[in-house]
């Protein structure tokens, strides 16, 4: 065999080996099904955010300081009327950590309600419905 034929045969053999292994593993990249996404049908999502006294919603990190009487209860069962909903535990923990890190005394700051906002998708096309669950009223300062 000539050198180019040997290289071509090696390439074909490597491709066939890859296809066999990928098929055995059930992951034929780039045609993967991404099981982490395909097995769970999520029809809701939630975020912990802040609602000001005018009803506008803000990300928690838009405030530079927080004054909460106690740490808000971020557990999903703190919102039984909205349950069940999808949530991401590490994002909830990050929200609680941010509130704790920026905790200070702010007697004259504006009241802000820490809420869990739940978005629900429906079978028919259109915007998701929104449900809010108040977790705690605090005081906060924006820059």
> Average pLDDT of the chain?
88
Cβ-contact 85, 78 below 8 angstroms: no
The two tokens of residue 85 are 């909903």
> Per-residue pLDDT for 38 more than 70?
no
- pLDDT value of residue 14: 86
Cβ-contact 44, 85 below 8 angstroms: yes
> Per-residue pLDDT for 40 more than 70?
no
CA 95 distance to own-chain centroid? 11
- pLDDT value of residue 1: 57
Choose the weakest-confidence range: 2-11, 57-66, 101-110, 128-137.
2-11
- pLDDT value of residue 94: 97
Cβ-contact 41, 48 below 8 angstroms: no
% the chain with pLDDT above 70: 85
> Per-residue pLDDT for 61 more than 70?
yes
Mind listing the pLDDT tens digit for each residue in 112-128?
999 999 999 998 899 99
> Per-residue pLDDT for 96 more than 60?
yes
> Per-residue pLDDT for 33 more than 70?
no
- pLDDT value of residue 8: 86
Domains of the chain, residue spans: 3-36, 41-141
Q: Is the pTM of this model over 0.75?
A: no
């Amino acid at each position: 065999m000539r050198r180019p034929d040997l290289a071509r045969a090696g390439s074909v053999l490597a491709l066939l080996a890859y296809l066999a292994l990928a098929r055995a593993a059930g992951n034929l990249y780039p045609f993967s099904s991404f099981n982490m996404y395909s097995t769970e049908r999520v029809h809701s999502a939630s975020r912990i955010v802040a609602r000001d006294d005018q009803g506008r919603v803000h990300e928690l990190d838009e405030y530079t300081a927080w004054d909460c009487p106690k740490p808000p209860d971020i557990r999903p069962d703190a919102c039984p009327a909205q349950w069940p909903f999808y949530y991401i535990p590490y994002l909830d923990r990050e929200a609680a950590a941010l509130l704790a890190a920026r905790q200070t005394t702010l007697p004259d700051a504006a009241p802000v309600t820490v809420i869990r906002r739940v978005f629900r998708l429906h079978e028919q096309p259109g915007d998701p419905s929104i449900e809010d669950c108040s977790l705690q009223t605090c005081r906060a300062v924006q820059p």
